[in-house]
Structure 1
Amino acid sequence: MIGLVALVLLPRSSGEERAQAPAHPRTPSPTPSAAPPRATAESARKVKANEAGLVPVIMYHRILPKRRASIDRTPDQLRRELERLAKSGYVPITAAELVARKIDIPAGSHPVVLTFDDGHPSHFAVDQNGMPKNDTAVGIIYEIAAKYPNFRPTATFWVNRDPFGLRDRARQRQAVKWLLDHGFEVANHTYAHPDLRRLSNSRVSEQIVRQERLLKKIGVPDSTTMALPYGSRPRKLSRAHDGKWDGSEYHFDGVFLAGAQPTVSPYAKSFPRFAIPRIQSNGKQGDCRRWCTTYWLDWLDKHPRERYTSDGDPARVSVPRKLRAMISPGRAKSVIAY
């Protein structure tokens, strides 16, 4: 990857509106009144836009006061990492928005996808006032968004059969409704979190269909993305994104792995739609010396021209002229090469 230059739900908003403080978490953001500014070669050059650049998709698991496994993070570790992202000009988008190429963020900023696996209770829970609890993932995201107004409060939650540790269907519906109403994505992580590589093709589809049926029962629309448990791909690779079981079919626009580097831009010809890499949130110990967030965020800071930088116009794709050939032919008419 070194040296390689370009691998939802909240209403659209203008650059001016995006700079305002986030809405109260119990109130969805208002519908925008103006379109984003139209990018030009001059404006793209000014912010050094590179929409063929790398996008970090960060993978989180449990958020615990005391870590029990290497992939756990503490609330303070999550808080510090999100604050680092905010200070560095990153703006969260959902996984669904990434694969749909709906990247609407301010000019000069960088997209980041925050993803949380398994639907653990530490990801989302509400207090007696119906607000996200302190030190949950959602609570911390809103905390950072309040401090850094350009840090859009959104994330993707890939859940299994007991979303957020809830077994009561009514409470599951309440939880996902809150998240969907506030711009978060909730999607399929299989029903029982098996290693899909070890299952027959039929069993792979069963795990995905059973979870999709559960999600529909609790008010989640058809998933457009899914994350592979353990990052393990089924023996028939296409079963991860297309299949049917017991009269039900599924199709995902994007499938995400478990590591271990940033993804190329979704506008790039080489975008691996059904094998999108993620970066584990962690320090630089052991295997993480090269493959986790501390390493990669440091690397992107040192190589800013390799990072996705927005032109502020979701209808255009701006790149340095030398990278024009990297963009998918389907976007040819919308490219600004400067």
Structure 2
Amino acid sequence: MNNTVVSPKLSLAAAVALVAATCACADAPAQQPAATPAAGSAVSATLAASSAPPDPAAVRANELGQVPILMYHRLVAQPTSVYDRTPEGFRAELERLAAEDYVPVTTAEYASGRIDIPAGKHPVVLTFDDGDPTQFALDGAGQPVPGTAIAILREVAERHPGFRPVASLYVNAAPFGSPDGTGVLPWLRDNGFEIGNHTQYHTNLGAASDQEVQQAIASGNREIVQAVPGYQVSSLALPFGAIPGNTALAMRGASDGMSYEYSCVLLVGSNPAPSPYAADFDPLNTPRIRSQDASGEDSAFGSAVWLDKLAAAPQTRYTSDGVPDRVSYPAAGGNAPAQRFADRALAY
């Protein structure tokens, strides 16, 4: 469910084998190149250290912890609803995330369990609904317009190495003010962003028939792939958070020759999402948190309050062990991964 390139990593077994092979060479002086014993030992030690997987206990890894999926709409100087953020408020939230060791991943990476971030870091998913021009637009030089959300995200990432400038943008017809998307969507794909479906006309799927649900989703999917030929759309953000009566149709279906099959369906929500490795992860009903300051309407369910809660109880949030194909978690936490991840699980 992704068009983002994730860097390959050694499996745990391969890493252990490499360490063993390196140590074996260090114990066989006849096989070493001409060098002093001290130099040879230093090289072997460096190789072994760089190949050894991180100790999950040392970084307090908890890959069954909660993941904040933040939801944004417009960036405006004078917000008119709880769904608006000021550019300054958005920038401050990104700076906070970077300072608290969060690393952005896309919805596709999250839902598929391809969370490849350093040990001790926490994933966060940045999602944008409606394809508003305040989120993203290109200037005459083909770069994000200053002050738009994507431009601000890239600026923050430049100041914080390791804070990935990636996000998932859920679009309707004429995304970001482009009549057919061809002027903007290819740039997003080429720069590691995920393009998601929000239906062509922001349809309330909870009030639609089965046929209308599929038509609304398939037409949105078609508009994306026409602008970006060959692109695999991987996820859907439900307009209004409205779930279809036949919930399975949010995940897969077809209409007028266009089929779709997604790995994740996002709600409007009001709380962190479970780990994709957890038994309670439900790709059909994945909650999000509205980006919001600590004051105002329904602020108890907003991002500022939830980030405070996660910071106050760090054992509850997802903390990476630094090994993409291993699922580490504290045995004392009383949790266990879903059965399909049992062969990757490491309780400590």
What stretches of structure 1 of length at least 5 have no aligned partner?
1-7, 16-35
Of 84, 96, 110, the match for 1:98: 110
Which structure ranks higher in relative contact order (CA pairs < 8 Å, sequence separation ≥ 6)?
A: 1
Give the alignment's TM-score, normalised by structure 2.
Answer: 0.84
Please name the residue that 2:294 is paired with. Answer: 284
Q: State the Cα deviation string for residues 153-185 of structure 1 (Å, max 9, x = none).
A: 000000001111211x3xx22311111111000
- Secondary structure of the residue that 2:253 maps to in structure 1? strand
Alignment of 1:138-287 (within 5 A): 138-167=150-179, 169=180, 172-219=181-228, 221-287=231-297
1:39 match: 53
Shift of 1:39: 3.2
- Three-state SS of the structure 2 residue aligned to 1:46 is coil
- Check if 1:63 corresponds to 2:75: yes
Larger Rg: 2
Q: Which runs of 5+ in 2 are unaligned?
A: 10-49
The C-alpha deviation readout for 1:182-223, integer Å capped at 9, x for no partner, is: 100001110100211111111111000111111111016131
Q: Which amino acid aligns with 2:330?
A: P
Shift of 1:288: 2.7
From the superposition, tell whether residues 12 and 240 of structure 1 become closer, same or farther in structure 2 (CA, over 3 Å): closer
Match of 1:304 among 314, 330, 333: 314
For residue 145 of structure 1, what is the amino acid of its counterpart?
A
What is the distance in 1 between the residues matched to 2:342 and 2:106? Answer: 25
- 2:62 aligned with 1:50, yes or no? yes
What's the CA shift for 1:268? 0.4
Matches of 1:335 and 1:139, distance apart in 2: 38
Q: Give the corresponding residue for 1:313.
A: 323
Task: Specify the SS of the correspondent of 1:69.
Answer: coil
- Counterpart of 1:151 in 2: which secondary structure? coil
Deviation readout 1:28-81 (Å, 9 max, x if unpaired): xxxxxxxx96535xx110100000000000000011122122210111110000
Task: Report deviation, 1:9.
Answer: 4.0
AA of the residue aligned to 2:217: I
Aligned length: 306
Q: Distance in 1 between matches of 2:322 and 2:335?
A: 21
Q: Which whole-Å CA distance do the structure 1 matches of 2:252 and 2:312 have between them? A: 39
Q: Is the 8 A contact 2:111 2:276 kept in 1?
A: yes
Native 8 Å contact 1:244 1:250 kept in 2: yes
Describe the shift of the 1:130–1:205 C-alpha distance in structure 2 as closer, same or farther (beyond 3 A).
same
Q: Secondary structure at the match of 2:223?
A: helix
Contact 1:51-1:309 within 8 A present in 2 as well: yes
How has the CA–CA distance of structure 1 residues 279 and 175 changed in structure 2, closer, same or farther, with 3 Å as cutoff? Answer: same
Distance 1:137 1:294, change over 3 A: same
- TM-score norm. by structure 1 comes to 0.87
Q: Secondary structure at the match of 2:183?
A: helix
Root-mean-square deviation over aligned CA pairs: 1.7
